[in-house]
Structure 1
Amino acid sequence: MKVKPLADRVMVKLEKSEAKTAGGIIIPDTAQEKTQQGTVVEVGDDKEVIKVKAGQKVMYDKYAGTQVKIDGNEYLILKMADILAVIE
């Protein structure tokens, strides 16, 4: 399925968080904190507002966006204002 965000929205693929601590303790998925980084997959059509492009890694607000699952992968659809930084 192909999803294209509208206006100033950006679709980000979520990064999986580390499941093991430095000491070797395995953390179950239910106890892990939600990551705040991801890779931009699609961008909306408001070119004046959107400052990121597909393929860039970004950091976003902790409780921002709408989480969706497409073809077994987890994505987040965010407003451009919820993106805090580009990671280089």
Structure 2
Amino acid sequence: MNQAIHFLEDEYLDQERQAIIFSALSQGNKLACGLSIVTLSQLFEEGEPLTIFNRYRWDIEEMAEKVINAQQDDAQGYYWLSK
């Protein structure tokens, strides 16, 4: 695990985006990460999104770390996880 990236426990379900949004701190900057509900269920299992997110938190954070390190943010600054 990269010690320069720390994940906050502030995840929430964004109904508009149909995604779980969560934050990471990297080099003093707060970064927004996202994982769509569809991708969440494809990667892990179906069910209540926040419950699934918390069940697989370590795996999701590892995926997010790779996206952050690759600097793969979108035009709005979000780091989206995909399959």
Question: TM-score, length-normalised on structure 2?
Answer: 0.34
- Normalized per residue, the structure richer in helix is 2
Larger Rg: 1
Question: TM-score, length-normalised on structure 1?
Answer: 0.33
Higher relative contact order (CA 8 A, sep 6+): 1
- Normalized per residue, the structure richer in strand is 1
